[in-house]
Every structure is written in structure tokens, then in C-alpha cells.
Amino acid sequence: MDSKQKVVVIGAGPVGSLAALYAASRGNDVEIYELRGDLRDPSTTPLNFTKSINLALSERGLNAMRNSGQTKLIDHVLGATIPMRGRMIHGKRPNGELYEEAQDYDIHGRAILAIDRGGLNKRLLDILESLPNVTFFFNHKLAGADFKRKKAWFEVRDGGASKGNGQPAREIEIDFDLMIGADGAHSAVRYHLMKYTRMDYKQEYIDTLWCEFQIRPKDTPADATLDSKFVISPNHLHIWPGKEFMFIAIPSDDGSFTCTLFAPAAFYAHLESDSSGSIIPPFFDKYFPGVTDLISPDDLISSFQKNPHLPLISIKCKPHHYSSSVVIVGDAAHAMVPFYGQGMNAGLEDVRILFDILDKHARMDELNTATDPASTRERALEEYSAVRVQDAHAINDLALQNYIEMRASVLSPTYRFRKWLEEG
């Protein structure tokens, strides 16, 4: 990238943290502004208000982390993940017998990795904290930005760079050379960017809510191996498909599974209407046979009642930048439904591609002393938007298509016929 600049990253989620790492490793002064408190502090409310969600990490995301040059990061990631070599479809035959059917992702046995998003995020923050040119500003909410004058305003909850203490917010003003907006689906950076560029923007909520459940680990002796703690195969992404519903389970590194129920809003309303929750176990028995053998009826009811019921949004916009001063990455640029397991992966990939392009333009201008860093960066951001918007839209569409595939096509006669042909 260009000679030392002040890069401010908005949002300390996985994508913002990786962007900060890339910017810092190029010698820039990096400041990270995050709305919430420090994720590593137990008193901070996690994103989505639940403990954490498990994600599928694929080569796209891994490669972006590998290219950060931080071996500590890759060692952590590979140590803390569980390979999932395929999906395991659960169902019931017409004679009432329960079955499970493994469908490998790859004939060469390559796998996607189950990872705890919170764990990954904390590791990224630890690495960033060890770098001398990175400063965190937690409890700082981006409130306004002027991308011509390169100034931004934040509401600060506590008067410091650590926890909030309930005092009224005050406002601060900062300058920057480049702002990287990684502040998620409801991005404030994107909102302000729209005032500076003729942005095409489309957002869509699908008629599905999600809620988290957990399959507990087996009760095993203290010296038991991790594998012996799992009640179903740890090396698969488990799916209970139902035409309008879907229940999935992803392994965690303590022997449990983080599970997600996807169902139309009307069904949630129906289940919510019974305050005792007694209709929830029969609902699972009808649509997700076998789940009540893995999660007790009491656990199903309490998870449904305690955990939030959250919507799913899909966002497309273009361009992703303005001039030399701002670019949006991750969910801020392309939030997508989670059915292709690529939201975070694509966001991490944004970072790799963005810095590849910034580096390329900086190298091209190295010998041209008349060129200032801002004009080099402006050309790089233009190229980035042109390249990345198309890919972001494509993966967004694939994610919506896979929604149909995961719910129903894994069971369809066409799928079975194709599979039979593939298997010879």
C-alpha cells in the first residue's frame, strides 16, 4: 500500500479486524472504532445476544488469513476448528425408521472447517493488540462522516477506550486518510457513503427467522477424548431438511453442537403463541425427526424462549467506495443469507483482494514521485469496486439459491438420481 497513512477501520468484527491487520502490516497508523465494548470482556453483550455462532470457514476465508502473514493466526484457526467433510442428512422413512445419509462435499475428501466466530474474533483482537501501530476505541459509534474533508464523528459512551459506564454519550471528531467500513449489515459507513456517490442499493428480508439451540456433549470421564464427547458425527454439517423449515447442527470444540432453526415468521409466531412452549417438542418430532433424542424437550423449550428470533437480510450495493477516502467490506457491502456458508468467508476475501489491489497500484506508482498517495489509492479503490461488486452479487445470489437446495433439493428425486449417476 502507499506510504504511511492513517487508516481507520469501523467495526471490530472478523472482517474489520482482518482489515486492520492487513493495514497495520503495511506500516500504517491504524485506529479501530467499535460500537460495542471489547468482545474479550465477559461483560460485553455479544453480537446477536447469544454466546456465539459457529460458522463454516472455507478456503476463501482461510486464504485471506494466510495472506495476512500472521502464522499465529493460522495456527490458532487450524487448532480451533473441526473439519466437516460433508453434510449428513437426517430424516424418517415411510415405515417410521430414522435414517442419516452422508453426502461428501468433495471426492478428494477436502473439508470445510467449523469455527466459533467469537473465538476467531478474540484471537484477531489479541494479535492486533500486540502491534504498536494499532489503537482500539471501543464503545465508539460512528455518527457522521465527511468523505470530502476526511473527517468523522463518533458518539463515545465512556470517555475512554474501554468499557461503557452508562454516562451520557459525548462526541469526538477525527481525521483520516482512508476509512474502511466493516460495520456489518446495518452499516453507518454505507449510509454516509450513499450521500457522496450515486449508490445503487437493494435490501431484502427473506421470510425466515433463525434461533439457536444446542446439542450437549456426552457425559464422559474427564480424560475422555474429544471425539468420544460428540453424540453424532463431528465431521459433518448435519441437516434436517423440511420444505419450509430447516434445522442444522455444526460441531463445537467442546463436544457440543450449535444448532439453528430456520423457519417462516408465521411459524415462529405460532410457536410463540403458546406461552408454555409445550407445542415445541411435537413440532420438532413432526418436522425434524430424531432431534428430540439429541436435545431434551426442556432444552428445546428454554432455548426457543430465551434465544432471540432473528431475521435474515440480503444486501447488494454498488459502488463499494468513494474517491480515495472510503471503502466498505464484509456484511457492510454485501450481507447475505447464510445458506451458502460464505458471508464471513467472502468478507475476509474482500480484505485480501482490496489490499492486493492497493499494493499493486502503490507498486505501479513507486517510481513516479509526482503521484500522491491519495490519487494512487483512488485508482485502486475504483478497480476494487469494479472487480468486487460483481463477485459480491454472484455469491449473494448463490446463497439465496442454496436456501432452496438445502431445504428441499437434498431430498429430491433429481438430487438422488444425480447422486446415483455420480456414484456410478
Residues in contact with ligand FAD by the rule CB under 6 A: 10-16, 33-36, 47, 53, 55-56, 141-142, 182-184, 188, 210, 260, 330-331, 338, 341-345, 347
Q: Shortest gap between Cβ of 337 and ligand FAD (angstroms)? A: 8
125 vs 357, which CB is nearer to ligand FAD? 125
Q: How far is the CB of 55 from ligand FAD (least distance, A)?
A: 4
Cβ-count burial of 405 within 10 angstroms (0-12 exposed, 13-18 middle, 19+ buried)? middle
Q: Residue 421 Cβ, how far from ligand FAD at the closest point, in Å?
A: 29
Rank residues 256 and 376 by Cβ distance to ligand FAD and give the closer one: 256
| Residue 32 or 357 with smaller CB distance to ligand FAD | 32
Cell of 94: 415411510
Q: Which is closer to ligand FAD, CB of 234 or CB of 338?
A: 338
Residue 113 CB partners (closer than 8 Å, separation 6+): 56, 57, 58, 62, 77, 78, 81, 82, 83, 84
- Minimum distance between the CB of residue 241 and ligand FAD, rounded to whole angstroms? 16
Q: Which is nearer to ligand FAD, 70 or 208 (CB)?
A: 208
Among 43, 52, 51, 42, CA closest to 14: 52
Grid coordinates given for 287: 418436522
Least Å from the CB of residue 365 to ligand FAD: 29
- Our CA angle for 20, 53, 169, nearest 5°, is 55
| Closer residue to ligand FAD, CB minimum distance, 209 or 300 | 209
Q: Three-state SS for 416? A: helix
Residue identified by cell 463445537 is 252
CB of 51 to ligand FAD, least distance (A): 13
Q: Which stretches of 187-318 are DSSP H helices?
A: 188-193, 265-272, 280-287, 291-294, 297-306
Helices (H), 209-290: 265-272, 280-287
